[in-house]
Structure 1
Amino acid sequence: MKLYFAPASPFVRKVRMAAIELGLAGNIELMPITVVPGQANPDYAKTANPLRKIPALETDDGQVIYDSTVICEYLDSRAGGGKLIPAEAERRWQVLTTHALAQGMCEAAVLLRYETWLRPEELRWPVWVDDQWDKIDSGLRWFEEHDHALAAPMDLGQIALGALLGYLDFRAAERPWRPAAPKVAAWFEAASERPSFRETVPSAP
């Protein structure tokens, strides 16, 4: 399999973490790709994802799968199913819901990056920036108040949360999140010892 990736993306990291947890990382070749909002990449749009988003996964038979959530579902199925996304109905919906929350927090964090890095300073919208931070802070409060969602075993919701927290440390270290979420911070410190966390730490660009 081939994974089109950028080393800083939390969505790519989620997929890479899932692959390691599932024992499939050795079956995946990493294919670096550059995608920047406002800059066309017609080759990638034609061969992988028409939306020019990462990650995208090319399977052994040449099929291309996206986005990160669909890729993780595919990998979980390929590993036998029910490992990161439980098969049992009640637990399945719980994990998919916590994953949706963490995924939304990742989306807010990436939008913040675009707003403060790509957009000229005189065109930035402070109210919109504050709203994205509020989404992240609200999500952190939810995980802090529902710490049962952080209990073992590792699942896709926790992986997405780990990717988000690592991205905040990487891109927004000037705005520490740990003081307001000590339970989440303790979980993240322990989880960061796992190979899936250690081997996928985000890096520039």
Structure 2
Amino acid sequence: MKITVSGASPYVRKVIACAIARGIDGQFEKWSISTTDPVLSDSNPLGKIPTLITDEGVAMFDSPVICEYIDSIGTAPPLFPAVGPARWKALRLQAIGDGILDASQPRRREIALPQDEGRIGYIKLQQGKVARALAVLEAEAASLGQLATVGDIAVACALGYLDFRFANEPWRAAHPKLAVWYASVEKLAPMAKTMPVAA
């Protein structure tokens, strides 16, 4: 199998963290490629990273699909629980974690551009999404696990991205329970081995 990688992408981090949690990260050939490279768009029409190419040559994208594919390989306990409340909890947490990333990545790009009323409004809109998501996670911090599901991993990757790209907007003081949980998981192998690197 081959997977596109970027040292700064939190979506790539989530995928690799899932592979580490499943004990299969050694089965992937890591492939560094630009999102503008036509070779990537030949495999993934969206031209997005991460993209996983299976041994059969099938392209998997984007990160939720890749993570579920990874969960089908090996014998470790599943990161996607079977049908029932535990599964919906994991998927919901994954949506919250991914949603924080979806709001944060474009905001970072917008901050670097000349500011006008429309851009300032857009940035505030994205900040509001992150703030509300963090408030939900703070309220539910006691129910978060030790990277046992894709939801736990997605949330941890989202918090790690806030530290990486928005260190000037610290989140821990206003979310002490979430901060305690994150401190308990950031040293675990899926997180410790996937620390982001500036591009």
Structure 2 CA distance for partners of 1:81 and 1:65, relative to 1, 3 Å:
farther
In 2, are the aligned partners of 1:144 and 1:182 still within 8 Å (CA)? yes
- Once the two structures are TM-superposed, the CA of residue 101 in structure 1 deviates from its matched residue by 1.3
What CA distance in whole angstroms lies between the structure 1 residues aligned with 2:144 and 2:92? 13
What is the root-mean-square deviation of aligned Cα atoms in Å?
1.6
- The corresponding residue for 2:20 is 20
The one-letter code of the counterpart of 2:37 is: N
- The corresponding residue for 1:54 is 49
In 1, are the aligned partners of 2:22 and 2:76 still within 8 Å (CA)? no
The TM-score with structure 1 as length reference comes to 0.91
- Once the two structures are TM-superposed, the CA of residue 152 in structure 1 deviates from its matched residue by 4.1
- The corresponding residue for 1:162 is 156
What CA distance in whole angstroms lies between the structure 1 residues aligned with 2:6 and 2:58? 20
127, 136, 144: which one pairs with 2:138? 144
134, 157, 174: which one pairs with 1:180? 174
Secondary structure at the aligned position of 2:30 is classed as strand
Q: Which runs of 5+ in 2 are unaligned?
A: none
Aligned residues: 198
What CA distance in whole angstroms lies between the structure 1 residues aligned with 2:147 and 2:21? 11
In 2, are the aligned partners of 1:2 and 1:58 still within 8 Å (CA)? yes
Secondary structure at the aligned position of 1:125 is classed as helix
Matched-pair identity in %? 37
- The corresponding residue for 2:196 is 202
- The corresponding residue for 2:41 is 45
The TM-score with structure 2 as length reference comes to 0.93
- Once the two structures are TM-superposed, the CA of residue 89 in structure 1 deviates from its matched residue by 1.4
What CA distance in whole angstroms lies between the structure 2 residues aligned with 1:106 and 1:167? 8
Q: Which runs of 5+ in 1 are unaligned?
A: none
- Once the two structures are TM-superposed, the CA of residue 131 in structure 1 deviates from its matched residue by 0.9
Q: Deviations over 1:170-202 (max 9, x none)?
A: 111111011111111111111011111111000
- Once the two structures are TM-superposed, the CA of residue 75 in structure 1 deviates from its matched residue by 0.6
